[in-house]
């Protein structure tokens, strides 16, 4: 076996300098340092990977909230009934999402909120809002 395979290294004996080759070389073990480093690094890598997965899922849910709000606003702008507006928004929204539809003058506002589960402070509520002009008000004089 080579020294790189066993984790041990050849070092000069006592009284021998790095440039001197007069005496025999001895093996020096790493004393389990690699095992200790792996025992510390693996849990950190697992937590980091889980955090990245959570962030990816949260970003995906935020994109779905934005898409759902836009779909609802388009449906509201076409003067569809409020039940169909909610259905259009909920069909594009992530699970357990809530939809709020509101008309203010010539504008329809659709807000979508969705909880994202996570441990402790990572449990957040995502929000998205879309606004569209009502078709029945296009070209109308105020």
CA–CA gap between residue 113 and residue 124 (Å, rounded) = 10
In this prediction the pTM is: 0.69
CA–CA gap between residue 58 and residue 65 (Å, rounded) = 10
The per-residue pLDDT string of the chain (142 residues; one tens digit each, 9 = 90 and over) reads 454 555 555 555 555 555 555 556 666 666 677 888 888 899 999 999 999 999 999 999 999 999 999 999 999 999 999 999 999 999 999 999 999 999 998 999 999 999 999 888 788 999 999 999 988 766 555 5
Strand partners, 98: 113
């Amino acid at each position: 076996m080579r020294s790189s395979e066993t984790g041990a290294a050849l070092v000069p004996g006592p009284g021998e300098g790095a440039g001197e080759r007069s005496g025999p070389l001895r093996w020096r073990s790493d004393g389990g340092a690699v095992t200790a480093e792996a025992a510390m690094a693996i849990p950190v890598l697992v937590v980091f990977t889980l955090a990245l997965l959570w962030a990816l899922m949260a970003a995906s849910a935020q994109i779905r909230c934005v898409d759902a709000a836009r779909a609802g606003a388009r449906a509201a702008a076409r003067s569809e009934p409020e039940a169909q507006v909610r259905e259009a928004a909920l069909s594009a929204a992530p699970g357990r999402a809530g939809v709020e539809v509101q008309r203010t003058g010539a504008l329809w506002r659709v807000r979508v909120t969705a909880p994202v589960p996570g441990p402790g402070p990572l449990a957040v509520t995502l929000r998205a809002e879309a606004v569209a002009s009502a078709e029945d008000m296009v070209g109308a004089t105020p």
